[in-house]
Amino acid sequence: MSRGIPEPKLTAMDAMIDKLTGAIFVFQIVVVMVLGIAGNVWKDTEAKKQWYVLYPDKGPWYELLIIPLRFELLCSIMIPISIKVSLDLVKGLYAKFIDWDHRMVDLETSTPSNATNTAISEDLGQVEYILTDKTGTLTENKMIFRRCCISGIFYGNENGDALKDVELLHAVSSGSPDAVQFLTIMAICNTVIPTQSKTGDILYKAQSQDEDALVQAAAHLHMVFFNKSGNILEVKFNSSILQYEVLETLEFTSDRKRMSLVLRDCQNGKILLLSKGADEAILPYARTGQQTRNFIEAVEQYAHLGLRTLCLAWRELREDEYQEWSLMFKEANSTLVDREWRVAEVCQRIEHNLEVLGVTAIEDRLQDGVPETIETLRKAGINFWMLTGDKQNTAIQIALSCNFISPEPKGQLLSIDGKTEDEVRRSLERVLLTMRITTSEPKDVAFVIDGWALDFALNHYRKAFTELAILSRTAICCRVTPSQKAQLVQILKSCDYRTLAIGDGGNDVRMIQQADIGVGISGREGLQAARAADYSIGKFRFLKRLILVHGRYSYNRTAFLSQYSFYKSLLICFIQIFFSFISGVSGTSLFNSVSLMAYNVFYTSVPVLVSVLDKDLSEETVIQHPQILFYCQAGRLLNPSTFAGWFGRSLFHAVVVFLISIHAYAYDKSEMEEVSMVALSGCIWLQAFVVAMETNSFTILQHLAIWGNLAGFYAINWIFSALPASGMYTIMFRLCRQPSYWISIFLMTAAGMSPILAIKYFRYTYRPSKINTLQQAERLGGPIVSLGTIEPQPRPLIEKDVSTLSITQPKNRNPVYEPLLSDSPNATRRSSGTPFDFFQSQSRSSLPNYSRNCKDN
């Protein structure tokens, strides 16, 4: 599958941090310019009179630049370099938390979740659109043979499992010719390769899960396909071994929708044609005179149950008929031009006059917890698009059963289709109009579009389609090619939505790479998607935890960590700026270089790193109230206005620290090193309390880091104070003995924190955010009220305006059946006219070869 070159992904949060960094950079430049000019003015007016500074009368040419450069040096810490390191560290840990999560281990295959891309966990919390594949992602992609209809008799209708139907077992054991022939086709009309394991078990290697299911089912009914050597197939039926020689294989293509085998029965030398395929590809070619009404009914019934159906048929070939056809087939196979088309045409010549035997029905179960997951994530404000290679009816069926779309009257499904550009345009406009009208109504409106119409929509009506994409919370795109999947992701991304693409197969790789976040299901279709993805999970339901728990926590934690990093850098920087006003705007640093370095690298980075353990709400509360994700999606915790809050806080704290330091340590105490350490201590104390106040849950590690860091600050400074060679020799000992030092520090802490506490308390109590309310509810131990919308909604299946799905039988809710080949409007359209309508349209240059890439299962 074409992989393309994946671009490095940047989270929305990183982009925002970059933007804020840019803003701070501009601020820094302005500060440097203003102070530089002020410094030069002060130098020329005042400093010339300060004889003790001994400014030369005539300085070197670069003298004007010295003071601005000094300020640039002082202000260079305004942009915290440590933020990159801290962020990388915590992002690595977020990814590890995903890898480690026991609740996201697929117990069936014991595959843990894995975060391949460690840099984008925050984006998980900001997802707005999920584009999901269907087969293998929503469903298990584990096909099970459930029912069949053999010459008009339904098996498996009573107990839902034909393999346990006594009548079928009886029919088989009594050797009813139709049943036996049916089983033979099930067992050998395929491309399965049986292998014998050491223990004698027979393992099947099948390209298609459906074929695998059929062969397995046949084996259960004592028709064991056990060996294939060269062209000889060996089948064991009731202890007798039957041999067949394969003469030709007429392969399955998604356009022919059937496959056939021409083989010679080695028992009696007869040449047989065995076929299986979609109803519309088999039933029209039944032998004249055969009643196919029974089978059509069976197919309809199964399709409405959501089962994937296949029709089985056969006929005997005369020797001369086969020989004649065989030559044509060989010739067609060896042509160079239009080979596929020629082969299909030749196949067509032999696949007629068939004796239809019956219909098989295979179920592809929905994965556990898919409806719940979709419902929860939808409540979290995430919009779902289903992109599938399957056909429309199948997709709608599965969408209904997994809460993807709601049935009438709550939901409405609009269809965009049309054979020509004009029809598609009109259809698109109509849907768009309906969509605009219904946005005000509390109704789940979804649209469904197929690959054909999508191609027109993407190429010619991109604007209209984009508007539709914005209006619609749900969409089903069927029959789409991998590149169309990627294009759809592109459209949503271009509207500035955060997209998550989830899939399991090779055809999802491009979409996964294109999306902001790619999630791969490490499932039955191999690991191709999981390898290309940023995250790989074992089951679709883990997506809930991945987004709501890991994504949300990551977002919250990074929001705090990044803004805090700016806060602490700005704090120290503002103090330096203030100090420059009382040091003759000359660019003197109040703090010595060791303290400055340790401040950024050590004192302020350790406490904040443990914020990776912070949880504002417990996981249960978040899962119960997925709506809370809105705060992450809307970027409520990191945006210019919250950043302004942190900016203001650092300005306020700088004022507090600076004013108290210079007033408490005035006159005889105004020794440079002492004042510097008092101010630094004030900053350290304040930041410890800021981290403590912004922490929502304290584990032992947080306490250790926050208060241990404070103790560490004193320990480190005492060590430095004990070294005679250091500039701050004895300073910290002297300070710690002075009552005025401690009094000043407590004053700074109280003066700095009490307004913040007051504001926080006021907001928390009287203007609570939803997060606050949930926190209070959760922590006061009161009942967390389940919101009205959480109650499970009844899910009756009601007909839609597009395709009438009249459900005649009560529906089993969890195992979901998927009609593989029921008659949908598209199917009829495609098969109308000549059966090879597709090949003719292929000659039109505007058409992509999308159906060829469609998933064939």
Partner 1 sequence: MSSSGAAGAGSTDSTAARRNTKRPKYSKFTQQELPACKPILTPRAVISAFLLVSVVFVPVGVASLLASRKVVEIVYRYDSKCIPKNVTNKVAYIQSSADKACSITLNVTKHMKSPVYIYYQLDNFYQNHRRYVKSRSDEQLRKRGEENETSTCKPEDMVNGRAIVPCGLIAWSLFNDTYSFSVNKRNLTVNKKGISWKSDRNHKFGKDVFPKNFQNSSIIGGAHLNESIPLREQEDLIVWMRTAALPTFRKLYGKIEEDLKEGELVNVTLNNNYNTYSFNGKKKLVLSTTTWLGGKNDFLGIAYLTVGGLCFFLALAFTIVYFVKPRQLGDPSYLSWNRNPGGH
- Known binding-site residues for ATP equal 133-135, 211, 252, 276, 308, 388-390, 479, 485, 507-508
Q: Residue 582: what residue type?
A: I
Residue of 1, 169, 651, 662 that binds partner 1 (CB under 8 A): 662
Q: Are strands 129-132 and 139-150 parallel, antiparallel or unpaired?
A: unpaired
- Decide if residue 99 touches partner 1 (CB under 8 A): yes
How many other C-beta atoms lie within 10 A of the C-beta of residue 40?
Answer: 18
Taking a C-beta distance cutoff of 8 angstroms, is the pair 382, 502 a contact?
Answer: no
CA angle 611, 617, 621 (to 5 degrees): 150
From residue 666, alpha-carbon distances to 601, 659, 743, 802 in Å are 30, 10, 14, 83
Nearer Cβ to partner 1, position 173 or 730?
730
Which among 429, 431, 436 is positioned nearest to 448, based on CA atoms? 431
User: Shortest approach of partner 1 to residue 25 CB, angstroms?
Assistant: 24
User: Shortest approach of partner 1 to residue 364 CB, angstroms?
Assistant: 13
By CB under 8 A, the count of residues binding partner 1 is: 125
Site for partner 1 in 560-589 (CB under 8 A): 579, 582-584, 586-588
Nearer Cβ to partner 1, position 161 or 300?
161
- Decide if residue 737 touches partner 1 (CB under 8 A): no
User: Shortest approach of partner 1 to residue 824 CB, angstroms?
Assistant: 26
3-class SS of residue 133:
coil
User: Shortest approach of partner 1 to residue 557 CB, angstroms?
Assistant: 11
- Decide if residue 164 touches partner 1 (CB under 8 A): no
Rg over alpha carbons for the chain, rounded to the nearest Å, is 36
Encoded tokens for 447? 């649209």
User: Shortest approach of partner 1 to residue 150 CB, angstroms?
Assistant: 22
- Decide if residue 52 touches partner 1 (CB under 8 A): yes
- Decide if residue 718 touches partner 1 (CB under 8 A): no
CA angle 340, 346, 352 (to 5 degrees): 125
- Decide if residue 672 touches partner 1 (CB under 8 A): yes
Residue of 33, 327, 750, 847 that binds partner 1 (CB under 8 A): 750
Site for partner 1 in 437-496 (CB under 8 A): 438-445, 473
Q: Are strands 308-317 and 474-478 parallel, antiparallel or unpaired?
A: unpaired
- Decide if residue 683 touches partner 1 (CB under 8 A): no
- Decide if residue 811 touches partner 1 (CB under 8 A): no
Q: How far apart are alpha carbons 852 and 480 in whole angstroms? A: 10
Catalytic residue, chosen from 14, 101, 123, 133, is: 133
From residue 236, alpha-carbon distances to 36, 243, 271 in Å are 94, 9, 20
How many other C-beta atoms lie within 10 A of the C-beta of residue 350?
Answer: 23
Q: Which stretch binds partner 1 (CB under 8 A): 23-31, 121-129, 181-189, 747-755?
A: 747-755
From residue 852, alpha-carbon distances to 41, 313, 617 in Å are 76, 25, 48
Q: Which stretch binds partner 1 (CB under 8 A): 237-245, 636-644, 657-665, 682-690?
A: 657-665
- Decide if residue 24 touches partner 1 (CB under 8 A): no
- Decide if residue 110 touches partner 1 (CB under 8 A): yes
Q: Residue 668: what residue type?
A: D
- Decide if residue 609 touches partner 1 (CB under 8 A): no
Site for partner 1 in 366-405 (CB under 8 A): 379, 381
Nearer Cβ to partner 1, position 105 or 317?
105
Taking a C-beta distance cutoff of 8 angstroms, is the pair 435, 467 a contact?
Answer: no
- Decide if residue 504 touches partner 1 (CB under 8 A): no
Nearer Cβ to partner 1, position 718 or 761?
761
- Decide if residue 363 touches partner 1 (CB under 8 A): no
3-class SS of residue 77:
helix
Nearer Cβ to partner 1, position 359 or 402?
402
Nearer Cβ to partner 1, position 72 or 674?
674
Site for partner 1 in 523-552 (CB under 8 A): 524-526
Q: How far apart are alpha carbons 275 and 249 in whole angstroms? A: 10
What binding mask, one character per residue, do residues 618-637 give for partner 1 by CB under 8 A, x or -? -------x-x--x-------
- Decide if residue 63 touches partner 1 (CB under 8 A): no
- Decide if residue 209 touches partner 1 (CB under 8 A): yes
Residue of 75, 105, 398, 543 that binds partner 1 (CB under 8 A): 105
Nearer Cβ to partner 1, position 495 or 601?
495
Q: How far apart are alpha carbons 364 and 209 in whole angstroms? A: 9
User: Shortest approach of partner 1 to residue 660 CB, angstroms?
Assistant: 7
- Decide if residue 694 touches partner 1 (CB under 8 A): no
Give the distance from CA 346 to its chain's centroid. Answer: 44
3-class SS of residue 304:
helix
Q: Which stretch binds partner 1 (CB under 8 A): 13-21, 305-313, 342-350, 769-777?
A: 769-777
- Decide if residue 57 touches partner 1 (CB under 8 A): no
Residue of 187, 361, 613, 683 that binds partner 1 (CB under 8 A): 613
Contacts 24+ apart (CB under 8 A), 239-243: 242/184, 242/266, 242/267, 243/267
Nearer Cβ to partner 1, position 81 or 672?
672
- Decide if residue 593 touches partner 1 (CB under 8 A): no
Is 133 a known active-site residue? yes
DSSP state of 207: S
**From the annotation, which residues make up the binding site?**
133-135, 211, 252, 276, 308, 388-390, 479, 485, 504, 507-508
- Any bridge partners for residue 526, and if so which? 523
Residue of 2, 335, 697, 841 that binds partner 1 (CB under 8 A): 697
- Decide if residue 776 touches partner 1 (CB under 8 A): yes
Q: How far apart are alpha carbons 659 and 654 in whole angstroms? A: 8
Give the position of tokens 């992509």.
Answer: 848
Which among 560, 790, 818 is positioned nearest to 694, based on CA atoms? 560
Q: Which stretch binds partner 1 (CB under 8 A): 151-159, 320-328, 746-754, 796-804?
A: 746-754
- Decide if residue 10 touches partner 1 (CB under 8 A): no
- Decide if residue 62 touches partner 1 (CB under 8 A): no
Q: Residue 221: what residue type?
A: L
Residue of 669, 719, 796, 847 that binds partner 1 (CB under 8 A): 669
- Decide if residue 160 touches partner 1 (CB under 8 A): no
Site for partner 1 in 318-357 (CB under 8 A): none
Q: How far apart are alpha carbons 49 and 55 in whole angstroms? A: 9
DSSP state of 56: -
Q: How far apart are alpha carbons 834 and 344 in whole angstroms? A: 13
What binding mask, one character per residue, do residues 416-445 give for partner 1 by CB under 8 A, x or -? ----------------------xxxxxxxx
User: Shortest approach of partner 1 to residue 780 CB, angstroms?
Assistant: 5
User: Shortest approach of partner 1 to residue 338 CB, angstroms?
Assistant: 28
Residue of 740, 814, 828, 832 that binds partner 1 (CB under 8 A): 740
Taking a C-beta distance cutoff of 8 angstroms, is the pair 468, 415 a contact?
Answer: no
- DSSP letters, 541-591, are THHHHIIIIIIHHHHHHHHHHHHHHHHHHHHHHHHHHHHHHTTTTS---SS
- Decide if residue 663 touches partner 1 (CB under 8 A): yes
- Decide if residue 774 touches partner 1 (CB under 8 A): yes
210: number of CA atoms within 13 Å, CB side? 25
Encoded tokens for 538? 């074992």
Which among 12, 854, 3, 38 is positioned nearest to 498, based on CA atoms? 12
Taking a C-beta distance cutoff of 8 angstroms, is the pair 381, 633 a contact?
Answer: yes
User: Shortest approach of partner 1 to residue 54 CB, angstroms?
Assistant: 5
- Decide if residue 660 touches partner 1 (CB under 8 A): yes
Q: Are strands 355-366 and 240-250 parallel, antiparallel or unpaired?
A: unpaired
Q: How far apart are alpha carbons 575 and 573 in whole angstroms? A: 5
Which residues are the active-site residues? 133
